[in-house]
Structure formats: C-alpha cells, structure tokens
Amino acid sequence: MDTVRLGLVGLGWFGGVLATSARSSGVAEVVSCFARSAEARAAFAEAHGARAVGDLDEMVADPEVDGVLVATPHSTHAEIAVAAAAPPLLLRGNAVEMLPDAVARVPADALPVVTTTWALSRLPLESRLRFLHRLDEAAAGRTVAWVSAEGVGVAPAIPTLGDRRASGHSIIGLAVTDRSALRAEAIGRCWSQGRLLAWLADS
C-alpha cells in the first residue's frame, strides 16, 4: 500500500501528536505543514521532516498532498474546509484592467461582488475613474455589486455625505451596476480602518 501523504493545519501540541501517530502507523505521514506563525512552521517542519508552506491554498494545490488534517480550534474548521474544497483563484496583473475578466469567471447564476478596502487611494484619479469604467464593462451582460471602504471622496460615484476629504474617516459604499445602469449609495462611515463603524441606518 502506498503511504498516504498528508498536509497538517495547526501545529500545536495536538498537531505534533497527529504527525507522530501518522508516521508510526506506517501507512501515512505528514509531508506538508501550515500555521500562521512562520516560526512555528519552520520549527515543526524541522522536527517532523515536513515542508512548511506559506498558506493553505499552496498546501491544497500541492499534488504531493493526498489529504489535509486539521488540528486547529473547532471554530475555524468550517472556514478551513471551505478553503480546502474551493481554493480561490488568484489572478496576477493590473487589477483595474483585469476586472472584466475576473468577473466573467464568476458562475452566471452567482452575483459577482467586487470589494475595495483602502486600495483605490493608492491609484491616481485617472486610474480610479478607469476602475469605474471597467466595472461598467464587466456588468455589460449581468448585475455586479461593488462594496467599498475608502477615504472620503476616493471612491468614484460613492456619495461623500458632505464630509470633507482627509477628515480622518472613510465612507462605506455600495454600488450595483446592472447593464450599465449604476446605482450607488453611502451606507456608513468607519474609522481606524473598520475598528469603529457607524451605519447610516442607525443614525
């Protein structure tokens, strides 16, 4: 029988027990390991002869891994299972220019939701307006939603509620574009990148 090659998520005491037990069984071994701490990954990899990986997606995509053991708190199991069953597709390139192609990869019966969180402020005004244009192109044949958390006046088409630019808080916006008809509204404010939220419905 071929040895079952396992990935292990969660490298605490119980993770070590699982790795040792797998090797002792003679039918399985932990060949890949992941934890959020780079130091924990390196120490576990050295102690158990496994490869340390930088993220769960890398482990799941590894053809040398036959299955994944999860040794993290129960509250994290559902999230890990979803990530393992349907790892995200990462596209490389100019995010603004690739937007229509990324949206086109979303199944036709699902609503594509584009999110920007303090990302547009890194772009010049011309590129921000280009983002809105590409969003419009992506919605040529379907409905697309855009959720934004950006500084006041940074996200094009999102109302500023009369707030001043660089006022120390951000506007949370929701836009829905349906076959080139854009409906945008501000739904809240936030401070300290989301640590404090104020929804307009509550004010």
Tens digit of pLDDT for each residue in 70-119? 999 888 888 877 777 776 777 888 999 999 999 999 988 999 999 999 99
**Rounded average pLDDT over 52-72:** 89
Report the SS3 class of residue 36: coil
Quote the pTM value.
Answer: 0.63
**Rounded average pLDDT over 58-68:** 89
Asked if residue 64 lies in contact with residue 31, where contact means CB atoms within 8 angstroms, the answer is yes
Tell me, what's the pLDDT at 203?
A: 45
- Could you give all domains of the chain from N- to C-terminal order, each with its CATH number? 4-85 (3.40.50.720), 95-202 (no CATH)
Report the SS3 class of residue 12: coil
Q: From CA 108, how far away is CA 141, in angstroms rounded? A: 10
Interaxial angle between packed helices 95-104 and 125-138, expressed in degrees from 0 to 180 and rounded to the nearest 10:
10
Tell me, what's the pLDDT at 87?
A: 67
Question: How many CB atoms sit inside 10 A of residue 75's CB?
Answer: 7
